Amino acid sequence: MSILANKDTRVVIQGGAAGVNAARRMAEFCYLIKRPLNVEAFVYPPDAGKTNEIPYGSGLIAIPIYRTIAEATKHHPTINTSLVYIGADRAMKGGMEALDDPHIKVVSMITEGVPEKDAKLLGAHARKLGKVFNGPSSIGIISAGACRLGVIGGAFDNLVLSKLYREGSFGVITKSGGLSNEIIWICSQFADGITTAIGIGGDAYPGTDYVSYLEMFENDPQTKAVVIVGEMGGDLEERAAEWYGAKKRRVKLIGVVSGFCQESLPKGMKFGHAGAKEGMKGEGSARSKSDALKKSGAIVPQTFGALGPVIKDTYQELLKSGQVKEIIEPVTLPKLPKTIEEAMKADEVMVAPLIRTTISDDRGDEPCYDGYPASELINKGYEIPHVIGLLWDKRLISKQEAEIIKRIMMLSADHGPCVSGAYATILAACAGIGLSQAVAAGLIMIGPRFGGAVTDAGRWFKYAVDNKMNVDEFLAYMKKNVGPVPGIGHRVKSLRNPDKRVKELVGYVKSLHIKTPCLDFALAVEQVTAAKKDNLILNVDGTMAAVLVDLGFPVDSLNGFFILSRTIGLIGHWVDQKRQDSRLIRLFDYLVNYAAPKRREVPPLK
């Protein structure tokens, strides 16, 4: 048996993230004791109608979220307990709502920093209704082998170490959350463990005090002794002593109190929990509490450290008198499934990776490009073209190569508003579309007719050079198998009106006196084609392509140079339109040749 929380306890959790975390901890405990999850519902208006996914074993359980307690208990009439994880400013309202619901018998409030008056009102309201209000600032309640409310008991390993999977003989009541766990652990090591442990919270006026819970423990035959961990301040320990001393009690009471250090501290200096405040006339001091407990017949160890041996002695006595029997531990206990990360760390699983990368890694404190830390590249004078070299071709290019790439990018960064890419971006910007989508609209235009010929041009020039074709053979091959030569021809430029960008780039590359077989071949092709037709010149795509192939970049990366440089222009156009607050535009009718059929009657639908 246990008190307050048992196998029939069904819970609604009021609150958001902290409540979900508590539900996870509770699910771990339910899994350990092989029982279904005891959380039935959440109440959290911002997420009402959704569900919270709570891991249970290796699966996930969807727990519904409601707007109000009434909705939750209507759909889940077995709910009898509420845990309040709502902020201090709204905690009282939430607590009252739970207390007022006829289904709910126990409300435990985890919220810290609840105004004293609110806590008293909640406590008084619960007493009036004959219900239990536990907290505020409570770490929770746990009944070994039966029910966990809140995060009390700690991590899964600790639940096992503290033998919380099965019942013992000791009840525990503490104000402090951390110490509740400590005492549970001590009870499991020096005795047979706990029945129920309750955190009543460290506030000055907890909703339910030691005495109410001592009464419950007294009436729980499984509980043979109760450990209370007190603090200076208030009179809860004195009241507990008074209760214990009032008549012969079945349970043994073991009590420790903290705050003796106050006696040797500068006057007025106080610390610990909110409730740990000595009264004005010395009442509520650690000594007066400790003396009161001793006088009542409780076992009061000298220090916290002596608590273990005292619990051990008590347990031995209980064994000797036959009130408790030695517990035989279960042979196997469920193990909490590990997450993939944990299992991999322990070398327990092997995972087939989903993707493979060979270019970059940012798992350390900074990204590495092909193994080189970004900051080191910066500090050693490397620039954007080198990063392109590392990420696109996995090699550290030379200063000279970087300069060529830089020039290529500068030459193709933008080509005015009228070309397909820029126009599409401007159109999108005028329609109020955001930056990334508008730039994407421009990028979508890049293809066989606009800017997307670099890769193809590079591919065929390289094919010709690799196969040692002469210009005539190449043109014949292209005519037969491919069509017009990519990289050759321009809409407006011609031999008489040359593309200055091409001139500039070719001039620079030639001035470097490096080997440029592809470029040389492309220029030779131009000689032949331009002689046939004035505008069949080597265009900027073809020039870039030939140069980049000569630099050794893979053919498939070539369009990337145009995409990357033109993105600079597209962003510029979007920002430009935004800056001007441009209005929505549409085509004028006179720019459209309406070649559709004239207006006519719609025939009846057959």
Partner 1 sequence: MAKVLEGPGMGLMKKWGIHVPHYVVVTSADELSKLGQVNDWMKQTKLVAKAHEALGSRFKLGLVKVGLDLNGAVAATKDMVGRQVGSITISQVIVSEMVPHKEEYYCAVKSTREGAEILVANCGGIEVESNWERVKRLCLDVGQTPSPEQLEKLARDAGFTGSVAKKMADFAGKMFSCFDNEDAQYLEVNPVVTRESDGELIALDAVTLLDGDAKFRHPDWNFQFAAEFGRAYSKNEVEVMAVDSKIKGSVKFIEIPGGDTAMLPAGGGASVYYSDAVVARGGKLANYAEYSGDPPDWAVEVLTEKVCSLPGIKNIIVGGAIANFTDVKKTFGGIINGFRKAKGDGKLKGVKIWVRRGGPREREGLDAMRALKDEGFDIHVFDRNTPLTDIVDKALQK
Q: Which residues participate in catalysis according to the annotation? A: 273
Spatial strand order in the sheet of 132-134: 51-56, 59-66, 39-43, 11-15, 81-85, 106-109, 132-134
List Cα–Cα distances, 194 to 159, 181, 447, 531, in angstroms: 12, 11, 73, 99
Verify binding: residue 101, partner 1, rule CB under 8 A: no
User: Per CB under 8 A, does 26 bind partner 1?
Assistant: no
**Cα–Cα distance, 541 to 490 (Å, whole number):** 10
- Any bridge partners for residue 142, and if so which? 148, 197
Is the Cβ of residue 8 or residue 116 nearer to partner 1 in the bound state? 116
Q: Which stretch binds partner 1 (CB under 8 A): 173-181, 428-436, 489-497, 501-509?
A: 173-181
Check binding of 204 to partner 1 (CB under 8 A): yes
Are the C-beta atoms of 501 and 562 separated by less than 8 Å?
no
Q: Are 185 and 142 in contact, with CB atoms under 8 Å apart?
A: no
**Counting runs of H as helices and runs of E as strands, what totals does the chain give?**
22, 16
Residue 195 in contact with partner 1, rule: CB under 8 A: no
342 binds partner 1 (CB under 8 A): no
How far from chain centre, in Å, is Cα 87?
Answer: 21
Task: Provide the minimum distance between the beta carbon of 89 and partner 1 in the complex, in angstroms, as a whole number.
Answer: 5
Check binding of 55 to partner 1 (CB under 8 A): no
Binding flag, residue 114, partner 1 (CB under 8 A): yes
182 is an interface residue for partner 1 by CB under 8 A: yes
Q: Which two tokens stand for residue 70?
A: 């009434």
Nearest distance from residue 431's CB to partner 1, in Å? Answer: 43
Among 116, 348, 361, 376, binds partner 1 (CB under 8 A): 116
Report how many residues bind partner 1 under the rule CB under 8 A: 69
Strand duo 81-85 + 11-15: pairing: parallel
Q: What number of other Cβ atoms are within 10 A of residue 483's Cβ?
A: 8
Q: Enumerate residues 224-243 that contact partner 1 by CB under 8 A.
A: 229, 231-232, 234-235
**Cα angle: 246, vertex 251, 252; to 5 degrees:** 85
Q: Are 79 and 12 in contact (CB under 8 A)?
A: yes
Nearest to partner 1 of 152, 545 (CB atom): 152
Task: Extract long-range pairs of 506-513: CB within 8 Å, 24+ residues apart.
Answer: 506/543, 508/404, 508/407, 509/404, 509/547, 509/550, 512/400, 512/404
81 scored as a contact of partner 1 (CB under 8 A): no
Chosen residue from 2, 13, 16, 25 binding partner 1 by CB under 8 A? 25
Q: How far is the CB of 179 from partner 1 (least distance, A)?
A: 4
Residue 386 within binding range of partner 1, rule CB under 8 A:
no
Question: Quick one: which segment of 150-158, 348-356, 435-443, 479-487 binds partner 1 (CB under 8 A)?
Answer: 150-158
Is the bond leading into 309 cis (omega within 30 degrees of zero)?
A: no
Instruction: Based on the shown chain and the rule CB under 8 A, indicate whether residue 259 belongs to the binding site for partner 1.
Output: yes
Residue 356 Cβ vs partner 1, minimum distance, rounded to whole Å:
30
Considering the complex, what minimum distance in angstroms separates the CB of residue 152 from partner 1? 6
CB 185 → partner 1: shortest distance, Å?
A: 5
- The alpha carbon of 472 is separated from its chain's Cα centroid by a whole number of angstroms, namely 63
* Closer of 154 and 486 to partner 1 (Cβ): 154
Distance, in Å, from the CA atom of 191 to the CA atom of 188, rounded to the nearest integer, reads 5
Where does this chain bind partner 1 (CB under 8 A)? 21, 25, 88-89, 112-118, 120-121, 123-124, 139-140, 151-155, 158, 161, 174-182, 185-186, 202, 204-205, 209, 229, 231-232, 234-235, 256, 258-261, 263-274, 276-277, 286, 303-305, 307-308
